[in-house]
Structure 1
């Protein structure tokens, strides 16, 4: 095995997926492709640490991604080789399971190739840096062990501690340790000078500075998936990270060291309490003020300053001035006021001397992490500037495109792909045969609005549906009337699925299909009409009338409403003299007369032979109802003549109002029926409102005749 060889192992059962990923990395890495989990393990067994990254799919034959991760963990390979999952499943359940199994990162399909390249290179560099640190620490320990006879007890303790730490996979750098020692020394000396109550001999100051290097020893016990994560930690991950204070103390307690209990106490208390804060808002115990050992307070402030002014994988360094301002403004937590005063006194001295000392000793310790100099800032146009993909990928894409075309033609459906970023849509070839349009349309929104391809109201609904899609709800359906080549319209069902850029969090494309449902829609409309309309007049039948009026009356914002029952006077004579067929024609004519005198929001229906109902909501005042009733009465005065036989008909109307006369449709219908009976008994071809005095009179219900 060539130690200098750099391999990326790609595991996916779909060749096109492997080819596209390989194209991203083949210039800088040797690529090994496998189609199942079993071959992943075989490749690692052969190539070992030459594999710098495993890009792993979850769903694969023989052995899936989860089983691969479990096997790698069992063999200790996950500690040496990072794994990034590339999957289309972004659920929290899947992510949590993968991270618990030890993956370094997850990438959701579809992905931006340039972002994937950066994330992979970052993780590879982190692992390489970690490996270098471990190697350097082992070398340091060997050197320290060789000089053991000449080291004092404190150095001997550090050697034992570092020997234990290496088993927990240390990740700190030499310069960080050096800076922490120098910062702690300066702060402690200045604190003793300004505040004599902190009585420390020079040896004690050096002991505190030496013990400060042990403050983060517990991070060795933190899982790599948390410790080496490049981005922001989740709340759960941060809780894991916070345990490094306790874990560090557990490591110290395992050491067989009893020769200098005072030094051990310093190390222990610094390790445990360096994240406590003056106001009690720190961890792990929430100590406050002087409950926190003073050396832990000093190391805490030194650690915050060094973290701010140092480069991290998740942030660039702040300037010295920015760091000082943030600490003094309380942006990094509350510190001991005396310690802050001390910090102000020596802060410039710290800056000047620490930089000088770091330059002198940089070569003596571990090399801190630095991103590769060739990695340039990411731009959104990078993907557009990438080199042309290889012939293999192009061939595979052409094969997939041909499959896509054949399947769409066989299904009889029209497939489309709408790019939201460029406002460009592409249809399958069938679209050009049915609609008067090209298969590829630029400026889609404008072109569709101008062409009348979709009716305006439905187009607005479509745009609203697109605006409402989210990664959690990426699907929607809509029925549309679309314009055909002959300018007629037919019903189609659109089924769409949005594709989101997992890195940017925005919708980039909508894929879908358009299916002709015109005949199904006609049958559905016919069934609806048969179930809800009167076959003779086309008005609502009694069941549909009830349903619609019940719905309106249930609306809490309804102000008022009226139910009018219209009954034809002397209609029986028409049927008796001219026949029922002639009478049907009269009923159709009457229904047209009623339709012409109602608003679009009014509900009308036929509830019996010659009985009609008109329901008016939010009519204003009673004068409006009077004018409407008078108009109906005038329109219904008809005279018919056939073979010297003459018949005259008219209309009588009973009216009940909501909420005065009742709050339910049943109550209003009964009272309108009483008013109708009253006016027919008094004089026909007129109208009457329900009044209390009408209730006292005996009446014969028109509705009872209908129901019978």
Structure 2
């Protein structure tokens, strides 16, 4: 017998409802479906399709459905019609969105409506799916099952997250409870004050980060500030009890003694023998010391004003005042909430950050609920709900859970430092502004230090210019491309050396547009280059032993790099090491690897490393591949040379040594020759279609079309057409950067993708390419003259729309050419 409940009968709890199946297990729970449709026939058809496995509640119109939800929200799924009397389906969705029920109850829209606008409006209002009548039984069953399964996962994840949060914060809550008892024992305030301030602080902080990006606080920062808020009045343990609990107004002298509790709390924390380098300590110190400062500078103990007051102290200050007003004290009665908020907004309790006052006004409804909530009821459920929403917003749910993110962040740090070897390693926290530095070249007792980035004088090695370059490079990183390297000329003892700085920024899942810190390594390649790969002993046995050691080291490096070789950058020759440790030219040119016909390369990194007797690195390009090259100066048996180590880069975005981003168009391990157009040596249309998703981020797109190409083929033959296309492609390649991408898009049409280029530079590039093409000379066809039409756009996304707009502009350019030149660019 199908379970069916009339709308007037209320909603049973889906998690406590027992299955009424004869002979079955009475402990089996059924899920509850609400069917909202003015047609009884439609309701019956849906129940027949879905079967006896669900408990059903029926509503004949939208208004009845809302009344039922107001009584009980434990519905697992709503099937909602659009066209109904009293209140239609769209109005039901608007009401559910207003009360935030749409996040609790998934909705599938059921309608015969065919208009696209209706479907789009339903999805915009938050429906999970849309099923059209007449009903297809298979589709109805599977979409209902899929939606129920998704939301069952949400509830399961909420329970898991809630349990993890409870386990993590249990010790914090125990500490807060102890502090509450201490405060209550000495100060006859309610022991709830500490807990209330903590809760109000959390609500204010969450509202603040929703409203503005001025304060880049992660969820972890909010948790630490909330925890540290419990310590805001710890200094009162030094205040005489007769002053703390005086029922009347304090005298001027007594008030001065009371005011000292802020500085006293800071002194208590500063006397702690450990933990002072932790972010939680910093927040606690800020809150204890300055939670009585005011926005206009009329607070105490230091008279700070505006943003001189740390945001942690600003928020706790407001939470402290609000809770003091709305709760009874030995010297006053409790004030009603609305009156308390008016007093604060009117400045009767001191001046506060206007942005925080807006936050206080907006969280007022939550404060009413919080005030009536028992202590054991929070904060776990709201936190679990928020995190569960974050989890379900991602395709790969388990990896986006909060604890998993913390583990992944720690793993990033571990992987980075595991790849480092000596030198100076550091970890930077962007929120606290602290840098934890480990210098492995120092004795253990002096190895570790903590510095504040706001005190530049503490960074003796780096000048302001170097720090500026570093900050600029960090700002150019992204979550997808967090790592970069750069060189700095720094003091090393009595000399100055070129040092290598390698940095990896760390990113927050909650605020993906802000990095929350960085890890890095600073090394002096000259110190490491002096030994272990230097052979200078003239003794034959020692030289042979050194040569053997170097040969072994090179064999080991070949397992790490794609290519290893010794070169003489002066003579441009590749060298080999014999068993006696002597270097001999192999007869090959080091430039040949890069496809250069000349004897050398412009801006050769090995030449610079050789001249400076150091180690340098850069990105280097061949026709089809990109390599990361490390060039290390060596002296082998008195003969100077350079050890070159090549790593072939894969697809994706990378950052060069100067900190600027490059889009590298290498494939994902495929044979890139398959994606090359054999005639023009540009990429093929197949490459574009295969890698289209990876190319979406390109900042500028252009279409280049060879003018009158059919006439070229008809007049001079197809061989001339091929020569023309090869000449145009080679000319375009000569006009663009190695990081730009040229694709033969159609027969005589090329697609150009630029990683970064504004409209002004694009216009200059257009002129440069068109002028260069006009000067193409084909010896076999001296009477053939070429020109191209060019259309380009900058900053247009997605890529398909950018190509469409560029194509339109190219045809406009072609019409201009025809109007000016009549017969076109072909002259014979």
TM (norm. structure 1) is 0.28
Bigger Rg over Cα: 1
**Structure with more contact order per residue of length (Cα contacts < 8 Å, sep ≥ 6):** 1
Q: Which has the higher helix share?
A: 1
TM (norm. structure 2) is 0.24
